[in-house]
Amino acid sequence: MEITAQLVKELRERSGAGMMECKKALTQNNGDIEAAIEWLRKAGLAKADKKADRVAAEGRIVLGQEGSRSALVEINSETDFVAKDENFLGFVENVAKAAVAGAGVADVAALKAATYPGGGTVEEARSALIAKVGENVQVRRLVSLDSAHAVGAYVHGGRIGVLVEVKGGSAELARGIAMHVAAMNPPYIAEKDVPADFIAKEKEIELAKMSEKDKAKPAEILEKIISGKINKIINDVTLTGQPYVLDSNETVGAVLKKEGAEVVSMHRLVVGEGIEKVVEDYAAEVMKQAGLA
């Protein structure tokens, strides 16, 4: 497979490794970017995969709350200009209200069919908005909770939204945990939630990174070394293992324990997450049209 400059660039963005290392990793793995990332990590040349740089889209994350019901909705637009338009902003606020009205709604299809404040359905209001702003608008994702527990909600700049369901503890704690999830994005709540295959793969990578001298140590010592490294990784990827953003002297787990609280669920949405954004090179396009490229 041809190792293109674009492929090398993508691997650099995802791994943080140097250009030559990325090119070598791709060559060694026949252009397979996933295998190349693992190769770089085993060689100690890369940290965790950085996929976030690959995704981008415009729009807003909006929060709705009514009684025991809470909802986060992602609504996308084509441009940032429309995402800041008062018509668009009014629409997203009304969609959030529709998401938690009555019995609430469980998915995007139900949300589109829900009654829009002022009359009609959310889908009808979306169509009217498209006609007004001249740009495609999509109600893309919904996270909905109806819980007897405390629900911490936090939206950062309309770009990141979090709902955290906390059993026990205070409303203040729940909101603080939501802020932490927004900032740190832990993939898992606690060690018990970390998949066994993830741990097995990390052990394999850590062993591959070790020197031959360390590998020659007695089995029990080698196991202790690997276990220490894996425990650190588990702390890094779990909510309860991370230092709390509002008090870095304690872990989130320790803070929860002090208040006799437990995180039941957590949900985090980021605008454009999972959407590939097409980057237009207008200068190149003009040159091409003019026959200069």
Q: Which residues of the chain have pLDDT under 50?
A: 51-56, 279-280, 282
Query: How far is it between the farthest Cα atoms of the chain?
Result: 73
pLDDT at position 282 is: 47
Question: What is the overall mean pLDDT for the chain?
Answer: 87
pLDDT in tens, 141-172: 999 999 999 999 999 999 999 999 999 989 99
- Return the domain boundaries, the chain: 5-54, 56-146
pLDDT at position 166 is: 97
Same CATH topology for 5-54 and 56-146: the answer is no
Instruction: Give CA–CA dist 142/117, Å, rounded.
Output: 18
If one counts every other C-beta atom within 10 angstroms of the C-beta of residue 240, the result is: 23
pLDDT at position 227 is: 87
pLDDT at position 70 is: 95
Q: Which fold has domain 5-54?
A: Helicase, Ruva Protein; domain 3 (1.10.8)
Residues in the chain: 293
Exposed / middle / buried, residue 108 (Cβ in 10 Å: 0-12, 13-18, 19+):
middle
Note the CATH architecture for domain 56-146.
2-Layer Sandwich (3.30)
249: enclosing H helix or E strand: strand 247-251
| CA dist list (Å): 255 to 84, 183, 249 | 37, 17, 10
Helix (H, G, I), strand (E, B) or coil at 24: helix
pLDDT in tens, 219-242: 788 888 888 899 999 999 999 999
Written as one letter, the residue type at 208 is A
If one counts every other C-beta atom within 10 angstroms of the C-beta of residue 44, the result is: 13
pLDDT in tens, 196-215: 999 999 888 888 888 787 77
